[in-house]
Structure 1
Amino acid sequence: MFELAWPWIFLLLPLPWVLRWLLPAADSGDAALKVSFIGELEPLAGRRAGVALPAWRQQLPYLVVWLLLLLAAARPQWLGEPLPLPTSGRDLLLAVDVSGSMDYPDMQWEGDEVSRLELVKHLLGNFIIERRGDRVGLILFGSKAYLQAPLTFDRQTVRTWLDEAAIGIAGGNTAIGDAIGLAIKRLRERPAQSRVLVLITDGANNGGELDPLLAARLAAEEGVRIHTIGIGSDAEAGGVLQRFGFVGAELDEPTLRAIAERTGGDYFRARLSSELKAIGDTLDQLEPAAQQPAQARVADALYVWPLSAALLISLLLVANSLWRPALQRLIWRGEQL
């Protein structure tokens, strides 16, 4: 179906005539005197004295160019058949801790020791890609919380931003409350049943300005459901944590559990890579929130055709003004010979 996106552009149609009426007349360049041998000078001037096209015919090419330019500016487009958009989904924000402690290599991935953040990247990357029909966003937090990727259907870009996250990029502390506050700000305008935050951290709140439990209460009032994930091996398990002198008491599980309970979410503890994967599978089973059904049409822009036609006519007018006098001079010289 053909459509003009901006049909109001045609209100500018009388603009050239308005400008001609408002601006002073330009010098036409016509001779002020009549001479008897004017006929001999006609070929040099490129026109015949006393013989001129009617005014409307002289202006016709320029009128056509102006109409073509207006048509191109009105954004003509061809709309294809309506295509359905996802009618259900969640608005899912992931808040990932990138403080210094997330660099501890106490996790396992395919037989190798990796840091906590690296494991989160491996497992959450696939989790993000599989959220078909969901808007997914990413918050990175340390001493401060930053929105790295807004809510979007472009899950591949969100995964790329997660893969590029670096330890300490947001500071060395852990501002859990600020991360929740930023998520509330981004989710409060979305449908009430689809506001979900998944918060992943390995520590206790020791930075930021907002208390985590106060932030959880505000989230509950705004209908934001928070699932919290505490990540890191137990100190009693030995291995890497003991070699680094980490005693395992940094994770504040009571606070994370309270945040989840106050907002209607769940708390998960991820000590192993298999546990973190199981958590992702559990989150996959959340009920999607119904949204308004919508349709979209693929629009093919057609402005290039009238714009090209206007350019072609303009080039022909310029060529005519440059070459016609020279051609007439050649004809005149041939007649003289």
Structure 2
Amino acid sequence: MNFAWPHALWLLILVPVMAWWLWRRKGVSAIAFSSVSAMEGLAPSLRQRMVWLPKVLTLVVVSLLIVALARPRKGREQTVSETEGIAIEMVIDRSGSMRAMDFRIDGEPVDRLTAVKNVASKFVLGEDGLEGRYSDLIGLVTFAAYADAVTPPTLDHSFVVSQLQQSSIVNRRDEDGTAIGDAIALSVEKLNALDARQQRKVQSKVLILLTDGENTAGQLDPVQAAELAETMGVKIYAIGVGTNGRAPVAVRDPFTGRKRLRYMEVNIDEETLTNVAELTGGKYFRATDTDSLDAIYREIDQLEKTEVETRQYVSYRELAVQSWRYGAVQVPPLIAVAMVLMCLRLVVEHLWLKELV
């Protein structure tokens, strides 16, 4: 609580002066009696003992009016955030080559898709030094031979992450492949649809493409899809995933049924991915292990910062003229309390104590 006009409280100095004036000794009027000894044993009545009440009520009323003049008020601060957010489409490769076990989490070897799920989830929700993308629209597209729009750009990040965690590597030969161009085009379409929906003001549109291979499926060439993205104002960050040279892949032995590691050549079309990123004003990265993948997402997190404009408002309740709550008690306005006490003073002085005051 504070006061809009605190200097008015200096007027409270007049209250002691008024008290002195009300209780100052007046000239004593007397009527001659031969003797008052018969009155000495009489106890004063209640009205006689309360003769001071009108004066006290006067002082209380004046004090309340002075406090009301200072305009006591109780403020409630409100913060309004206006965000020009970023719309991000995560485009994740789930082709058969993502089974390569060249990444580690907590010292244990994992396939590439598992490592991507781990780092991308931290990027979205925030963990291990990453702030999270709380103000941004996040969508998910996965692809192998075909591109699938799993979730549209949304603020429901928990749902996006749950869908990401449910994504799995394709296990059918007719579904395997790497349709990078189709995946880019589908993601651009989803980002471009935000303008038609007018859901919110989007400051920029970003596509994070993650793949470990070459474009081997689909109808669109990746560079053509990138030209479409550039036309639509979508920036692409491309990440090539996988170690250099050969990578271990878990395969099942047809005779024993046990899984064993088999090494395969890593073929990432880095030239195309670099062209795709640079054509849209983005950047190409190469992730050869979990630490480098984590560092890449951290760099993207810093490159694409959301601008949040925060405005603070304070709404005041004028306690002099508005009721207010103190704990479980509803307190009436100070002016109303002063008026009630003034009426009480008049009743006491001119009715109850009329003959004594």
- In the TM superposition, residue 292 of structure 1 has moved relative to its aligned partner by 9.6
Percent of matched pairs sharing the same residue:
38
In the alignment, which residue of structure 2 is the partner of 1:257? 274
In the alignment, which residue of structure 2 is the partner of 1:108? 104
Asked if the contact 2:82/2:309 (under 8 Å) is kept, the reply is no
- Render the CA deviation track for 1:202-226: whole Å, top value 9, x for unaligned: 0100011111000011111111000
In structure 2, how many angstroms separate the alpha carbons of the residues matched to 1:209 and 1:219?
Answer: 16
For residues 33-44 of structure 1, what are the structure 2 equivalents within 5 Å? Answer: none
In the alignment, which residue of structure 1 is the partner of 2:120? 124
Mapped pair 1:230 → 2:240: yes
Structural RMSD (CA): 2.7
For residues 1-150 of structure 1, what are the structure 2 equivalents within 5 Å? Answer: 84=80, 86-129=82-125, 130-150=132-152
SS class of match (1:136): strand
Mapped pair 1:267 → 2:284: yes
Q: In structure 2, which of residues 180, 190, 212 is the aligned counterpart of residue 176 of structure 1?
A: 180
In the alignment, which residue of structure 1 is the partner of 2:302? 285
1:264–1:85 CA distance, 2 compared to 1 (3 A): same
1:117–1:287 CA distance, 2 compared to 1 (3 A): closer
In structure 2, how many angstroms separate the alpha carbons of the residues matched to 1:199 and 1:210?
Answer: 15
- In the TM superposition, residue 97 of structure 1 has moved relative to its aligned partner by 0.4
Instruction: Report the AA paired with residue 106 of structure 1.
Output: D
Q: In structure 2, which of residues 138, 159, 162 is the aligned counterpart of residue 160 of structure 1?
A: 162
In the alignment, which residue of structure 1 is the partner of 2:262? 244
- Give the structure with higher Rg (CA): 2
- In the TM superposition, residue 158 of structure 1 has moved relative to its aligned partner by 0.4
Instruction: Report the AA paired with residue 156 of structure 2.
Output: D
Instruction: Report the AA paired with residue 155 of structure 1.
Output: H
- Render the CA deviation track for 1:162-190: whole Å, top value 9, x for unaligned: 00001117921110000110111111244
In the alignment, which residue of structure 2 is the partner of 1:36? none
In structure 1, how many angstroms separate the alpha carbons of the residues matched to 2:202 and 2:282?
Answer: 15
Asked if the contact 2:101/2:248 (under 8 Å) is kept, the reply is no
In structure 2, how many angstroms separate the alpha carbons of the residues matched to 1:122 and 1:175?
Answer: 23
Q: Which runs of 5+ in 2 are unaligned?
A: 1-76, 126-131, 196-200, 251-259, 312-357
Asked if the contact 2:96/2:171 (under 8 Å) is kept, the reply is no
In structure 2, how many angstroms separate the alpha carbons of the residues matched to 1:277 and 1:83?
Answer: 34
Mapped pair 1:210 → 2:220: yes
In structure 1, how many angstroms separate the alpha carbons of the residues matched to 2:138 and 2:171?
Answer: 21
1:287–1:140 CA distance, 2 compared to 1 (3 A): closer
TM-score, length-normalised on structure 1?
Answer: 0.58
In the alignment, which residue of structure 2 is the partner of 1:199? 209
TM-score, length-normalised on structure 2?
Answer: 0.55
Instruction: Report the AA paired with residue 286 of structure 2.
Output: R
Asked if the contact 1:99/1:167 (under 8 Å) is kept, the reply is yes
In structure 1, how many angstroms separate the alpha carbons of the residues matched to 2:284 and 2:234?
Answer: 15
In structure 1, how many angstroms separate the alpha carbons of the residues matched to 2:149 and 2:82?
Answer: 25
Q: Which runs of 5+ in 1 are unaligned?
A: 1-80, 295-337
Asked if the contact 2:87/2:202 (under 8 Å) is kept, the reply is no
- In the TM superposition, residue 144 of structure 1 has moved relative to its aligned partner by 0.9
SS class of match (1:268): strand
SS class of match (1:285): helix
SS class of match (2:265): coil
- In the TM superposition, residue 233 of structure 1 has moved relative to its aligned partner by 1.2
User: Relative to total residues, which structure has the larger helix share, 1 or 2?
Assistant: 1
In structure 1, how many angstroms separate the alpha carbons of the residues matched to 2:224 and 2:104?
Answer: 35
